[in-house]
Every structure is written in C-alpha cells, then in structure tokens.
Structure 1
C-alpha cells in the first residue's frame, strides 16, 4: 500500500545541470514546507563556482504548486559569493515524489533539474512493518 501524499512537505535531494556542459552537474538538498499550494524551503549545495570561500552554498526558496505544476525561485543569500535569484519550473509526478523541469536566470542562461523525496526509505520501511503478518500463538 502506497501512501497518497497531499503536499511537497519533506526532505528532497536532486541535481541541476548547466547548458552545453558549461559547469558540473550540481547536487543539492532542500527541506520544503508546503501549505495550501504555497511553499518555502532551505536549500544547500556544494560551492562548485568558488566565488567565495566555503564548501557549501545556501539559499531560500519560495514557490507554488498547482496540480502537477511546480514553480519556485531560489534566492542565494550571499554564501559562496552568490546573491542572485534563479527561477525553477517543473512538473511533479502523481505520487508527489519526483519533480523534473528547467531552471533559468532571466536574460542569461538555463538548464535542467530534477529532485526526489529523501524520506521515502523510512516510509517504505514503516509500511512494510505494518504489512508483516502477525503470528498468533495458541
């Protein structure tokens, strides 16, 4: 039995890719809290651009979900020397466990991204435990 999710709330991980291999595929982790179709979150990714010292770059996200459509903006907070915004547009699957789409910096460039729920493993284990047969001793 698979649980039907009703929001994007949870832990996610993914990666984004630059156009024409202009940079390395960059992985990220994000915690999302969704209420009524609007969501916010905090994202972390490795500092691959190296505009400033430090191994990790952090950003906040704000977005909306309407049906399968997901749109959010990532606002870098200055860590890693970055303080710009990036727009993400994607589609979430029916189970609300995977999002795929494109990112863009207006009038600059764009690429692709995907993200998947991290909390699926714990949930699947809990469901398996619930579905185990119960032995009755006589």
Structure 2
C-alpha cells in the first residue's frame, strides 16, 4: 500500500484541460498557495474563444484540500469578456506531484491534469543523495 507523501501543494503547476467537443486542449500554469486546508492562487492560460481565436487569459482560484481530495473554483478576471467561474474536483497522486480530475461549468465539463515538475525533481535528487 502506498501512502501519501505529506506535502504542501504550494508551488508552480503545469496543467492541461480538455473539452468534450472538438476544441483543442488548453495548457495552463497555476500558482498554488496552500495554507492549512485552504488553497488560493492564480492561473494563466492561452484559451480559445467561441470564434476560434486564441486569447491570453488570467484567473484566480480558491478552494480546499482534504488529504488527497483537491477542489477549487477558478474565476476569470473579466479580460476579453471572460468572467465566468469553473469548478475543479480532483485527486492528488500518492507522491503529491499530480492532480487529476474533472472541471465543470453549467454548460460544459471535461478532464484536467496538473503536474508539479519541481516535486519530481526534488524527489529524484533526494534519492540520489541518499545513495551517496
């Protein structure tokens, strides 16, 4: 049985979310700050609008973490007419380097994946130093 690494989620995460239709997946960068059970932060992404144009958009996020369950609401800042919110519900991997789950709005839903590359790098370095 694998146990969850006790790890704070604060840091830079790279992500990807997909749409249920023919729109291309969107990559994003999220900066998470975990304080107690609370999560806050920001998201920067290049997203496709309804006409197929690509736009740079920003959002804030606010949510909670309970063990491996991670949930937050991403709210766009209003630039380029994007001012709606998106709910994310995911599960943290045992090594605390990935969050995978579903996002939803009243009209849409899809899957997402967030990866914290720095977490894997630190773990690999610790393993190397442990052998030396």
Q: TM-score, normalised by structure 1?
A: 0.80
Structure 1 counterpart SS, 2:126: helix
Q: How does 1:1-138 map to 2 (within 5 A)?
A: 4-21=5-22, 23-49=23-49, 55-106=55-106, 108-120=107-119, 122-124=121-123, 126-127=125-126, 130-131=129-130, 133=132
Structure 2 residue runs without a partner (length 5+): none
Partner deviation per Cα, 1:53-97 (whole Å, 9 max, x = no partner): 984210000010111111100000012320000001111112211
Contact 2:96 2:119 in 1 (8 A): no
Contact 1:54 1:80 in 2 (8 A): no
4+ residue runs over 6 A deviation:
none
RMSD (Å), alpha carbons = 2.3
Deviation at 1:118, TM superposition (A): 2.7
Deviation at 1:123, TM superposition (A): 1.7
Partner deviation per Cα, 1:21-75 (whole Å, 9 max, x = no partner): 3x11000000101011111011000132277x98421000001011111110000
Structure 1 residue runs without a partner (length 5+): 134-138
Deviation at 1:126, TM superposition (A): 4.0
Structure 1 counterpart SS, 2:80: helix
| Count of aligned pairs between the two proteins | 128
Contact 2:26 2:47 in 1 (8 A): no
Asked which structure has the greater CA Rg, the reply is 1
Structure 1 counterpart SS, 2:48: coil
Deviation at 1:120, TM superposition (A): 2.9
Contact 2:15 2:113 in 1 (8 A): yes
